[in-house]
Amino acid sequence: MKKILLLLVIVFLNSLIATYSQTIIIKGHISDMQGGNLGFANTYLQKQITIGTLSDVSGDFILKITNPEIIKGEHLVFSFIGYNPLIISLDSLDLSVPVNIIMSENIQTLNEVVVEGRKSISIEFSIKKIDQMKIYLNPLASGDPLKAIALLPSSTNTNETANPELRGSSSNRTRVFLNGVPVSNPVRNSQINGIGFFSLFNPELIKNMLVYPSNPPLIYGNTSAGMIDIETEEKLESSNFNISASLATTGISASQKISEKSFIQFYGNLMFSNGFLSVNPELSDHLKSFNSNDIGLNYHNEIANNISLNFYNYFVSESSDILLRLFTWDDNAKAKTQRDFSVLNLKYHKSKNYISLNAGTNFSRSDFSFGNISSIVRQRQAYFSLNYKYLFSEKLYIQTGLSNEFGKFGFKSEVPVFYYAMSPASPSFHNDTLLSNNLPESYLYLRWKPVKNIIWGIGIRKNINLLQTGKPDYLSLQTNLRYNFMNSHSVLFSAGRYNNLTEPGYSQIEFRKLSADQVALEYLFENKRTNINLAAYYKFETGDPAGTGRIKGLEVFIERNISRTLKAGISNTILDSDIGANELLYNSENNVGYFLVTTLSYFNPGLFNASVSWSTRQGKYYTPVNYSIYNPEVDFYQPVYSENINSQRFGNYNSINLSINKMIAIHKNSLVIFASIFNLLNTNNPKSMIYNKNYSAGTYDYYQKRSIYFGCMLSFK
């Protein structure tokens, strides 16, 4: 028996040695012509395309070939979006040493970008670029594009929502664009308090997301803080079909090449709350239910060598039921929304001329009920812009255009007579309002590169008052000056006066003009392993009912590739935000002192990817209630707030978040398994005050407690 066991062990070891001796391991590094790492570049065999891998975040790759017979006459293919594919014969490589691959940028694509691309306008601006992969790996994003912004130092959102708040400004000053068209209310499950839990955008259709934290380009317009520009895919490498399932959603998505120059993308999702709430029972104390059905379509066609067409359409029907407390009344807040928006882009470029037409529509109906509040809001909006760019030379171009936003907003609502008495039996009055707005604007932008390392841009945008008496008149101006030195360093100075009109909503049934004067100085350093951004800025904001805002901030962002598989980052903003009203100065709600986010990410395509983040800041300011006055007519107490506005602060905010994902190759297909834990330590983070009936005692209401989310996606090539 012992001899048989010994013989089996010898046979097993010999087969194991033979297997490993036959395995060919190809190691290497992929970079661009400037020496920058190309993370997540494709590496595969030309004839056996199922044998392949991705480079990690540092540009390193490892490819294992278990059958040496297949490499005879075989070639390695390296591909990355925006770069020329590289094909190398395996016979020409010395596989005993790491392969150093340098990929060149697609010159034809770059020429088009100089003439037509939106990214060309970004060179002289301060931006952060977030691609699809960064959205999925972001531990704060939950797979949502707008929530992925929370890792940036410019994000000063204190509400754990998808509403973007940049550099101390409120979300109604920041605009979100999809392919150059503004998207009104870009969040889902939006309640009367303006909270949006997730955004409307599916990351599967997103190529890039450009975040302008302040002083954005005036070619877009109607923003008085930052701006977010989301770009859909313009080129499809291959067709695929995906099926996904998670605690809260099931969905399908498909990308199909029609020809080499045209493709169509489609997705649909069903969102439900049963599975999510059963795994996270603590959340059911406030979140009773939610469901959503949505469908999206993106069609792209290169009609001719110099003409392209892109059409995007999205429809969503959603509802939610949340236990909400306003003043001293607890009740279920029920919301229901149906919405459809479309974006059409037509581009033409020839030689040094580029013309683009962007158009969009938005139709929605939102129903909301809570206590004695009942509201129906209807929106009808249309957007149109015509843009022309002329490239005098590589050093100088000019861009001009016209745009118009049209909107109709209808409000039918029951509103409390006494703002603090919200029970169904409390008195209310009917409000029926119809508002409309027409906002034609024109702009001019010039960019000049006087010497090799300096880029200067200047822009102007003006509204056009055509027989619109009583409409606000405004002029927006900006300038940006960037100096690049020593290859990896640059300094950027930007300043401007910006204006935008807020859209009417539940809490503010009116159009309101907002203005802001902004100035910022920034330093950037980037090499193969390290990325450093430093910024100092000042803003003076007017138009808010609370008063004039004075915002000062310092930002520090450091990201370092510790090794081939490990990356660490730290982001911190020191914010000083005040509001001036009635010759008094007081703290803004979000004047929390600092926003500190640290991250540690592990990337290993052979094992798994994981990211952990720690977010901390001081608590928000709030105005305490001094005492209350009893109103026998409604049996409610009226709160009397302290004259010292925002004089008290909640306790510190701390949250640790973890995300893990693993990709498993199944022949030509792949399975991605993902999981995330939000607020890992289940920390009690105070969000607001909850008072008893006569406001004599109060307790804290908290941000989201620990929640677990997991799922998978199966992709077919």
Task: Dump pLDDT digits (tens) for 574-584.
Answer: 999 999 888 88
Flag whether pLDDT at 109 surpasses 50: no
Identity at 570, one-letter amino acid code: I
**Shared-domain flag, residues 492 and 584:** yes
611 in the same domain as 554: yes
Q: Return d(Cα 69, Cα 92) in angstroms, integer.
A: 16
Write down the pLDDT at residue 469.
Answer: 57
**What would the mean pLDDT of 366-384 be, rounded to a whole number?**
93
What pLDDT shows up at residue 111?
A: 33
Query: 597, 615 in Cβ contact below 8 A?
Result: yes
Q: Rounded CA gap, 303 and 3, in Å?
A: 74
Q: Is 86 in the same domain as 127?
A: no
Handedness of CA 304, 306, 307, 308 (dihedral sign): positive
Strands 329-350 and 353-370 come out as antiparallel
Question: What pLDDT does residue 614 have?
Answer: 95
Lowest mean pLDDT segment, chosen from 90-99, 146-155, 348-357, 564-573: 90-99
Co-location of 344 and 413 in the same domain? yes
Q: Which two tokens stand for residue 239?
A: 């067709």
Task: Retrieve residue 386's tokens.
Answer: 């015509």
Domain check: are 575 and 669 in the same one?
yes
Cβ pair 335, 377 in contact under 8 A:
no
Rg (CA), the chain: 28
Instruction: Please tell me whether residue 582 adopts helix, strand or coil conformation.
Output: coil
Residue 98: pLDDT over 70:
yes
How far apart are the C-alpha atoms of 577 and 591, rounded to whole Å? 5
| CA nearest neighbour of 116 among 347, 299, 445 | 347
In this prediction, residues 357-383 reach a mean pLDDT of 94
The percentage of residues in the chain with a pLDDT greater than 90, rounded to a whole number, is 47
Q: For 203-221, how does the pLDDT look when each residue is reduced to its tens digit (9 = 90+)?
A: 877 888 888 998 999 998 8
Q: Based on the fold, state whether residues 66 and 214 are members of the same structural domain.
A: no
Write down which residue in 104, 134, 166 finishes a domain.
Answer: 104
What gap in Å lies between CA 451 and CA 459, rounded to an integer?
20
Residue 475 has pLDDT above 70, yes or no: yes
The verdict on 237 and 298 lying in the same domain is yes
Q: State pLDDT tens for residues 500-520.
A: 988 887 667 778 899 999 999
Structural domains in the chain (count): 2
Label residue 1 by pLDDT band (50, 70, 90). very low
* Domain's final residue, options 71, 104, 137: 104
What are the tens digits of pLDDT across the range 113-127? 333 333 444 567 777
Q: Of 138-142, 433-437, 457-461, give the lowest mean pLDDT range.
A: 138-142
Binning pLDDT at 50, 70 and 90, where does residue 196 land?
low
All residues at 6 or more sequence positions from 91 whose CB lies less than 8 Å from its CB, including other chains: 73
Classify residue 201 by its DSSP letter.
-
Neighbours of 418 (CB within 10 A): 16
Q: How far apart are CA 522 and CA 535, in angstroms?
A: 4
pLDDT surpasses 80 at 128: no
Alpha carbon distances (Å) from 257 to 48, 68, 622: 21, 33, 54
pLDDT at 54: 76
pLDDT at 81 over 70: no
C-alpha to C-alpha distances, 541 to 132, 168, 582, 644, nearest whole angstrom: 33, 11, 16, 22
Pairing state of beta strands 353-370 and 373-393?
A: antiparallel
Write out the residue range of the structural domain in which residue 195 sits: 112-716
127/24 same-domain check: no
pLDDT surpassing 80 at residue 17: no
Cα separation, 301 vs 687, in Å, equals 48
End residue of a domain, out of 57, 77, 104: 104
Q: Are 169 and 591 in contact (CB under 8 A)?
A: no
pLDDT average, residue stretch 408-421: 92
Query: How does pLDDT run across 585-604, given as a tens digit for each residue?
Result: 999 999 999 999 999 999 88
Read off the pLDDT of each residue in 422-446 and give the average, rounded to a whole number. 92
We report the CATH number of the domain holding residue 228 as 2.40.170.20
CATH for 10? 2.60.40.1120
Say yes or no: 315 and 340 in one domain: yes
Task: Give residue 666's pLDDT.
Answer: 81
pLDDT of residue 36: 65
DSSP E strands, 452-511: 454-463, 475-485, 489-502
pLDDT at 399: 95
The average confidence (pLDDT) of the chain is: 85
Give the pLDDT band (50/70/90) at residue 3: very low
Residue 75 sits in the same domain as residue 147: no
Share of the chain above pLDDT 70, in %: 90
Together in a domain, 117 and 82: no
Task: Give dist(CA 254, CA 267) in Å, integer.
Answer: 6
Give the pLDDT mean for 23-31.
83
Residue 362 CA from chain centroid, whole number: 20
- pLDDT (average), residues 154-183: 90
**Residues 117, 77 share a domain:** no
pLDDT at 192 (0 to 100) = 42
